[in-house]
Chain A
């Protein structure tokens, strides 16, 4: 099935997630959809798969305009999407998951399932509970389920995150077979360059909501990085690895989450240092950041703060030592919807058992002025705009913390707001605070970090010469290509 997108627009508030995107996907081809986090690739694929409507624009299937308002309608038009977290039901067996959405009887379903899995070389037990399967097996189930529903176009969102090498080989072989022998269109959303290079006939690159280029195989890392990150050099402001005392350290730490394992690594953080943690989603940098604040307990190794072993202690103990964490989702982790600005300030201002609301209000007014937060002390925090919420969070941090562990400190902010946040942060560094931060934005990492670490598929490596690294080089590294 040939798919053509014409002038697709999609906005979320002030964010133009898809800006006038036109593209053609031919049957029998595997096309990689590439871009940084937030480039708009998932939005585009969700529009194509019927999960959300475009604001404007047309989708043509085999030349005929298609109008569908739901994933179900997209499925009957022949388009199926494999989500990053497979949409299956853990309490059901494989065969039960396979049946839903279809009109097969149980007996037909067994036959169809074994026929599909055999052809693709997958190995799943029809009677196993889905909750006992690995992510790779759950993907396989989802693929054969979509095929049984008659899908002609298969969209896969980051399918290689969290699966083993063997399963990846199996998956890629299956996708090649589907495209080359069955003539299906396969669209692979990914930010892993090596996967796209290994598998795709063509790559479409998005940046900040716009389609910035298309390349045909043979694909090269250099070309892709050039398109993904623009390749322009930006000014590098601070490049002096700290010489102060080590204030915090991860010593031979192994981290585990449901999806991944971060291999043992050591990170020593010195006073006044800014350390950037680069990496694509779920590469391990988020876990490393949280481990520094005691929010993820290491499976092995030690976490040290100011010379004391803090391994396994709760976040509050880290806070008392001067380690503060700030999360990317401001209203999920950080601020409390339903509480006023004054209540937030009162919560962190001191620890006296009785509250003095007049004093808290005065302090709030002072902080709002100092941190340029546009809002009233008695407004509820969820009524603030994103930038104001971020500035308020900054105002809630203590004046001289030992270490700030910041997850995407400028997420969703415009250039001016980001700049302002960094001025505040670097002021704190000047008085001895160390900063460890993650960011999907390579510019931000290169511009502000004294040292850079790159996480890729659970391996965390220090960039040897952070002062001279370019955005291109960093882009290659987070895609798994070290020289």
Chain B
């Protein structure tokens, strides 16, 4: 069943090379030069500190959602509702930004805490629907996503309408004291956001590796029936996993509202939650690799914003590349599984068990 490191390396690199090749082919088909495209993307991401800040500002909410999703995937849950949890986080943060008036150092902290609570509430709704009423978290999540979006639109066009009128695309910009400050003008990234993202990565990795809670999540995710018989509180595991993910998604939402846009607007999540699902699928739910892969995604997305200007290509090309990578990785995993299954079948089964059987018997003598 085990493969040597060469094969494993090949299986890791193959999908990336294949997806680059497919994307290059697509670019050639629409009449552009793939090399120029890849160069522009790289340039777009790294040409100066402002461009790089764009990448980091995308990475922070993405990595927050992804770490949350690592937790829910470990518990065997498909938390599609992560987008809605982000949105509700943004709504709660926006409420704080508009209506709370605390001393400066507390203000922003309180807003983020509110956002985390909002995300947690939204996630636990999906959780309660699942454990109490048997609604699958995917369906519950989709419904709650739609509700969160409608709620945001209602607020923007209703109670939180800016003075200009009801056709506005966003609330009035939040007061300067209520938003996250930049590190510098040349590198507009929030230090607090970076710190929270870093803590999320370390915290989730440690919690999954070194706590009973993490082990119980893993047991619940792999086999809830057995986990229950081994004394794991499986319902509680599922609920807490969702709540932790909600907290992190809420923080991600607050970053979008309090830093990226400094206002509440519809579709403010920008699909980052769904992208997080792809990131986590890609790394196979391993916490350590998540920030790196999230970073690669952020580079491609951040870098491709300049494609239109430079090459008259739509920036959705970035999405094409990402989706191809995910498909290729899933394909490679499937191939690998089939290959190792065939190998274990090729080994003559009866002889193997006969040996086991014998060993077992001698063990008793």
Contacts and interface: CB of A to CB of B under 8 A. Distances in A.
Interface string A330-359: 011111111100011011100111110100
B226 A416 contact: no
Interface in B199-241: 210-216, 218-219, 222-223, 225-233
Contacts of A326: 229
B360 A388 contact: yes
Contact of B213 (A315, A334, A353, A414): A353
Interface in A1-47: 11, 13-14
7 contacts: A315-B228, A327-B229, A337-B222, A343-B218, A344-B230, A354-B210, A374-B359
A347 B233 CA distance: 11
Contact of B223 (A14, A337, A387): A337
B350 A13 contact: yes
A316 B233 contact: yes
Contacts of B210: 354-355, 357
Contacts of B357: 14, 385, 414
Interface string B330-365: 000000000000000000011001101101110110
Given A11-B350, A316-B231, A387-B360, A333 B225 contact: yes
Contacts of A354: 210-212
Interface in A282-296: none
A404 to B, nearest CB: 12
Contacts of A396: 230
Nearest to A344: B230
Contacts of B226: 331-336
A346 B213 CA distance: 11
Contact of B354 (A14, A337, A417): A14
Contacts of A333: 225-226, 229
Contact of B222 (A315, A339, A388): A339
A327 to B, nearest CB: 7
A424 interface: no
B212 A416 contact: no
A336 B219 contact: yes
A372 interface: yes
Contacts of A416: 360-361, 364
A312 B222 CA distance: 26
A420 B354 CA distance: 20
B229 A334 contact: yes
A325 interface: yes
Most buried by A among B222, B223, B229, B357: B229
Contact of A13 (B211, B219, B353): B353
A336 B218 CA distance: 10
A414 B212 contact: no
A343 B210 CA distance: 11
Contacts of A334: 226, 229-230
A325 B212 CA distance: 22
Contacts of A348: 230-231
Contact of B230 (A336, A357, A414): A336
B354 to A, nearest CB: 6
B229 A414 contact: no
A319 interface: yes
B303 to A, nearest CB: 37
A326 B231 CA distance: 12
A325 B229 contact: yes
Contacts of B349: 13
Given A336-B223, A354-B210, A347 B232 contact: yes
Interface size band for B: 20 to 34
B131 to A, nearest CB: 12
A370 to B, nearest CB: 13
Nearest to B213: A353
Contacts of A339: 218-219, 222
Contacts of A344: 230
B215 A346 contact: yes
A414 B211 contact: no
Please name the 4 residue pairs, one residue from A and one from B, whose CB atoms are nearest each other, closest first: A13-B353, A338-B222, A336-B223, A14-B353
Contacts of A332: 223, 225-226
A355 B364 contact: no
Given A13-B353, A387-B360, 9 more contacts: A316-B228, A332-B226, A334-B230, A337-B222, A339-B219, A339-B222, A347-B215, A374-B363, A388-B360
B358 to A, nearest CB: 10
Nearest to A415: B361
Given A316-B233, A339-B218, A385 B360 contact: yes
A344 B353 CA distance: 24
A357 B364 CA distance: 30
Contact of A347 (B216, B353, B354, B356): B216
A355 B211 contact: yes
Interface string A399-428: 000000000000000101100100000000
Contacts of B364: 372, 416-417, 420
Contacts of A337: 222-223
Contacts of A315: 228-229
Nearest to B365: A416
Contacts of A325: 229
A418 to B, nearest CB: 11
Most buried by A among B214, B223, B359: B223
B363 A372 contact: yes
A209 to B, nearest CB: 14
Contact of B211 (A14, A347, A353, A420): A353
A417 B359 CA distance: 12
Nearest to B218: A339
Contacts of B218: 338-339, 343
Contacts of B363: 372, 374
A471 to B, nearest CB: 26
Nearest to B212: A353
Contacts of A346: 212, 215
A468 to B, nearest CB: 32
A70 B166 CA distance: 67
Nearest to B235: A314
B365 to A, nearest CB: 9
B58 to A, nearest CB: 33
Contacts of B215: 343, 346-347, 355
A315 B228 CA distance: 8
A14 B350 contact: yes
Most buried by B among A14, A331, A346, A396: A14
A11 B225 CA distance: 30
A13 B356 CA distance: 10
B286 to A, nearest CB: 14
A343 B361 CA distance: 27
A325 B229 CA distance: 7
